Structure 1
Amino acid sequence: MNGFERRAEEIKLRIKRTVLEMLRETEPKKLRVADIAARASVSQVTIYNYFGSKEALLRETFQDGVVRATDEFEAIIGDQLTMKEAVQHILVADREVYRSFPPDFVKTMVLEDQECAAFIETLYRDRVIPLVVRFIEEGKARGEITDKVSTESIMAYIQFMKEKMAPMLDLLEKSGDLDRFLGDMIHLFFYGISGKE
């Protein structure tokens, strides 16, 4: 990468970081390119040159975060941690994703942006599902996940949770305690309501 390309990437990254900061204060639909440009100390023309539109900027910002989270999940699985350690790392990573992306922004990207939804679906099918299957199989091999429940049943449960993302995001937003809510959801997934660990 030459100096011009490196500088362009630095500017794009600064713009996307600015978007993330502004999303903590403003709904995605209320963000304006003029406000993003002013806060990122770039011109509106620069944003349009690099991204084409506000929607494309939001999409790329979200997609970068999702890919980064998937990369982190893959790294956690590759670390050969115990199931409990891996879940703790995943929980921390999930919290960071939700801190970076307010629930309203996630809903907009996943449910209203068809291009982004297609990207997420492809990433989920091609990378996330194989990683989760590997995670489950390795957990079973180490005796940390019961053999009484098939991998297919666990995957079906995860698919069900994925399909209920919109109401989950609403509950998350209303909970008022992001960390506790995410912790409770992870606990319920792994230990059920009996709480047996």
Structure 2
Amino acid sequence: MNGFEKRAALIRSKIMKTTMELLKTWEARRLRIADIAKAAGVSQVTIYNYFGSKEALLSESFKDFVDEAILEFEEEMRLRKTLKERVTYFIFKDKEAYSSLDPALVKELMVEDQVMYQYIQQQYDDRMVPLMAQMVAEGKASGEISQKVSVEAVLLMIQMYIKSSGEMLDSVAKHEDKEKFLDELFHIFFYGLCGRELEE
């Protein structure tokens, strides 16, 4: 990559990250290219030259957001941590990432946009599944996950959550205390309804 290409990549990245930052406090439909250009310190023409339209910018920004989240997941998995530490990290990062964004926007980009959905699914299959399978296998080996639970069962539960993400996001959006509700959903996913295995 030559100097011009590096500079172009940096500008493109800055515009996308600025867009995602603005979406934490703006509704997508109210956010204008002019607002993004001002916040990023570039011209509107520059944004149109790189992305062509606001819709394409939102899509590319969210894709970049997903790529970075997966990269962080991969880096976290390289560290020697207990399952509890990893789960705590994932809960924190998921809450931080998605609770700050408009649930309607996340639903639109992750569920209703078929191209985006297929992209995320491909990334999930190719990069996330092997790492999660490794995490579950290590958890079983260390005794942190019950031997009654198979790797396949855990991955199936994750798939079920992904497939129902649209309905879940709708529920979160309507809830009076969104953060508390997210806490409850994460708790049920990772720890179950009882929070611990019942004694037989």
TM-score normalised according to structure 2 size: 0.87
Which residue in 2 is equivalent to 1:181? 181
Which residue in 2 is equivalent to 1:90? 90
Which residue in 1 is equivalent to 2:155? 155
Which residue in 2 is equivalent to 1:58? 58
Which residue in 2 is equivalent to 1:118? 118
Q: How does 1:72-151 map to 2 (within 5 A)?
A: 72-151=72-151
Whether the aligned pair in 2 keeps the contact of 1:27 and 1:104 (CA below 8 Å) is no
> What is the CA-CA distance between 1:180 and the residue it aligns to?
3.0
SS in 2 for 1:193: coil
- Partners of 2:28 and 2:92 in 1: how far apart? 25
> What is the CA-CA distance between 1:192 and the residue it aligns to?
1.5
- Partners of 1:75 and 1:180 in 2: how far apart? 28
Whether the aligned pair in 1 keeps the contact of 2:83 and 2:144 (CA below 8 Å) is yes
> What is the CA-CA distance between 1:195 and the residue it aligns to?
2.1
> What is the CA-CA distance between 1:118 and the residue it aligns to?
1.6
Alpha carbon RMSD of aligned pairs, Å? 2.1
TM-score normalised according to structure 1 size: 0.88
Equivalent residue letter for 2:58: L
For 1:118-163, what per-residue CA distance to the aligned partner results, in whole angstroms no more than 9, with x for missing partners? 2111111111111111111111111111111222222211111111
Whether the aligned pair in 2 keeps the contact of 1:91 and 1:182 (CA below 8 Å) is no
Equivalent residue letter for 1:88: T
Which residue in 2 is equivalent to 1:16? 16
The unaligned stretches of length 5 or more in structure 1 are none
Deviates more, 1:154-163 or 1:21-30: 21-30
Equivalent residue letter for 2:61: T
> What is the CA-CA distance between 1:178 and the residue it aligns to?
4.5
Greater share of residues in helix: 1
Equivalent residue letter for 1:159: Q
State whether structure 2 residue 170 is matched by structure 1 residue 170: yes
Whether the aligned pair in 1 keeps the contact of 2:111 and 2:165 (CA below 8 Å) is no
- Partners of 2:32 and 2:165 in 1: how far apart? 27
Whether the aligned pair in 2 keeps the contact of 1:23 and 1:101 (CA below 8 Å) is yes
Deviates more, 1:161-170 or 1:51-60: 51-60
Percentage of identical aligned residues: 47
For 1:38-58, what per-residue CA distance to the aligned partner results, in whole angstroms no more than 9, with x for missing partners? 333322221111122222211
Whether the aligned pair in 1 keeps the contact of 2:136 and 2:151 (CA below 8 Å) is yes
